[in-house]
Chain A
Amino acid sequence: MTDATSNPEAAGLTATSDPPLVRITGLRKSFDAVHALRGVDLTLAAGEVTALLGDNGAGKSTLVRCLTGVHPPDAGEIRFRGQPIKLNSPDEARRLGIETVYQTLGLIEDLQVWQNLYLNRELTAGFGPFQVLDKKSMISHSKDILSRLDVDVPNVRATVRRMSGGQRQSIAIARAANWGKTLVIMDEPTAALGVRETAAVEALIRRLRDSAVTVLLISHDMAQVLRVADTAYVLRRGQTVARRVVQDTTGDELVGLITGAIEGDTHG
């Protein structure tokens, strides 16, 4: 209803010399009568973990889908390394090195682990129309991918159906991290996990940041956000209401911003 007139960015919070990896301004998206996004501003600094917070229905998932080319936005701009981009398909986002781990994980249960890691990126041998899957290479590289990220999957030739929730999550993240050279988006990666598995996934996120991958993390777990994120954005009813540097905020403030108990910058 009210317009997002003030940009949290414009409040002078950041001014780095390099253009940020992603800068989103005034993003809008409606589905029929539902205004899912009503002016979202968001900046992802390269090599940082940015948390995206908001209650259910705040527009987090829609924002992610706009950023990954699933839904083209109605209005607003997405800049990638300073260049405005139009993403019309997940393929285009993928070509920019943007990978997403959805809550559904996107794994094919009856395929083996290595097949899932290489899904739609299969290695082949041969020439012309006679391309045969190079299983040997894919299997041995899959072991490397998983061991490099310290993911505990004993047998890459087992089907995903036989994996635990934590293993599945790790496989999905490992796949995204392996191919997403610039940005990995994770939608509540630890929502269904136990304590030890959550710790393993958080360690995985830190390892991604250490290898200069930018991470956008959607999470409902404030403690987790404080543990792994550098910056946090809060969405409320389709608008960006606050940007906080994680070092300078508290879980209580973030929760207040999410629920509306604390007004936020846009309305301030």
Chain B
Amino acid sequence: MVDVSAPGRLGGHLSVAAAARYAAPIGLVVVFIAFFIATPNFLTVGNISDLLVSAAILLVLAMGQQLVVTVAGIDLSVGSNLPWSAAVLGFAYNQGWGLAVSALLAVLAGLAVGVVNGLLVARLNMTDFIVTLGSLSVVSGITLLLTQGNTVAVNSAFLRGLALNGIGPVRWFWVVAFLVAALVGFLLFRTRTGTYLLSTGGNIDAAREAGIHVNRIRLIAYASSGLACGLASVLFVARTGGADPSLQTSLLLSSIAAVVLGGSSLFGGKASVLGSVAGAVLLQSLINGFTLLGISQYYQPIAVGGVVLGAAFISRFQK
């Protein structure tokens, strides 16, 4: 559609550019076919259902990361914000405050970290990378203090149901992930705030000249990522049956990788919600397939990293 306005100018690069834009969906199909050939256990209703459930946590995290990347930022604190929010849930639940209150506190705990990140980046103009690297460490320490380093078990029938049940074949996790993705897509492409997020990431000086409150917009992005961590922590606890205080570096890397795979630019201004969704499912499929094939889990980070590096390489051709 857009290519019509510049016929021939892109020439041979057209196919590479298209490949870059659709890296995640193309990769997803390739991975599905590869695992389908490799093992009969991959493309079964049960496995795909479980795969999508485990992808839901990553997907929610990736949606928060998507908003931060859109404003040309990066949120490394995801790796500790998730266990932190989970620990708050576990702590509150074991104090007997009830699940509703505990889950709400967990979401608020995640939001609080996001707001602090946002204030440091937007108001104090500190470098996003350093700010979120710092809060990754600080929040991780606070989590260890709160839990004394122990996993807190959360025995809730409701959470178990959330992880295992659904409406017919549609699992609750999918519903949550779908709603979060739909909300982020709506925010980005149907609201003024979305236009401001894209503008701030695309050209912060031009956005400021246009009168957009770029600091407020960046704050909203980081706060949303924190909120997503809080929400994901509820799924995380539901799935694992407890709050593990250890750093979730693989989820952190995967959340960034999913967004990059999806075709969003790390320089900001470009977002693709569907791409990021495909990216998240692709990364989860890799891990799932490796497990089914009995390949040592030590190879998983290598495979994930390789896919990300490949995506970064292809995105060089993206204009």
Inter-subunit contact A132/B211 (CB<8 Å) = no
Inter-subunit contact A111/B199 (CB<8 Å) = yes
Known: A109-B269, A111-B202. A158 touches B195 (CB 8 A): no
Q: For A90, give its contact among B2, B190, B209, B319 (CB under 8 Å).
A: B209
Chain A residues with a Cβ under 8 A of chain B: 89-91, 94, 100, 102, 104-111, 115, 119-120, 122, 124, 131-133, 154-155, 157-159, 161-162
Q: For B207, give its contact among A94, A108, A155 (CB under 8 Å).
A: A108
Contacts of B203 in A (CB 8 A): 106-109
Highest count of chain B CB atoms <10 Å: which of A106, A124, A132: A106
Closest to A154 in B: B5
Inter-subunit contact A133/B198 (CB<8 Å) = no
Q: Which 10 pairs of residues, A with B, have the shortest CB-CB distance?
A: A106-B206, A108-B202, A120-B210, A106-B209, A119-B210, A110-B269, A108-B199, A122-B192, A110-B202, A91-B211
Confirm or deny: B116 has a beta carbon within 8 angstroms of a beta carbon on chain A: no
Closest to B198 in A: A111
State which residues 188-240 of B face A: CB under 8 Å: 190-192, 194-196, 198-199, 202-203, 205-212
Contacts of B270 in A (CB 8 A): 110
Residue tally, chain B, CB below 8 Å to A: 24
Contacts of A132 in B (CB 8 A): 190-191
A119 to B208, CA, bound (A): 11
Inter-subunit contact A162/B195 (CB<8 Å) = no
Confirm or deny: B6 has a beta carbon within 8 angstroms of a beta carbon on chain A: yes
Would you call the interface of chain B mostly helix, strand, loop, or mixed? Answer: helix
Interface string of B247-287 (1 = CB under 8 A from A): 00000000000000000000001100000000000000000
Q: For A133, give its contact among B6, B195, B199, B208 (CB under 8 Å).
A: B195
> A131: shortest Cβ distance to chain B, in Å?
7
Known: A104-B206, A110-B269. A119 touches B199 (CB 8 A): yes
Contacts of A122 in B (CB 8 A): 192, 195
Highest count of chain A CB atoms <10 Å: which of B190, B194, B195, B198: B195
Contacts of A157 in B (CB 8 A): 2
> A61: shortest Cβ distance to chain B, in Å?
13
Known: A108-B198, A111-B199, A162-B2. A120 touches B212 (CB 8 A): yes
State which residues 63-78 of B face A: CB under 8 Å: none
Inter-subunit contact A159/B192 (CB<8 Å) = no
> B57: shortest Cβ distance to chain A, in Å?
28
Apart from A90-B209, A90-B211, A109-B269: 9 A-B pairs, beta carbons within 8 A: A100-B209, A108-B202, A111-B198, A119-B210, A120-B210, A120-B212, A131-B191, A161-B319, A162-B6
Inter-subunit contact B5/A158 (CB<8 Å) = yes
A15 to B211, CA, bound (A): 36
Ordered by A's residue number, 28 sampled pairs between the chains whose C-beta atoms are within 8 Å are A89-B211, A90-B211, A102-B209, A104-B206, A105-B206, A107-B206, A108-B202, A108-B206, A108-B207, A108-B269, A109-B202, A110-B202, A111-B198, A111-B199, A111-B202, A119-B206, A119-B207, A119-B210, A119-B212, A120-B210, A120-B211, A120-B212, A122-B192, A132-B191, A133-B192, A157-B2, A158-B5, A162-B2
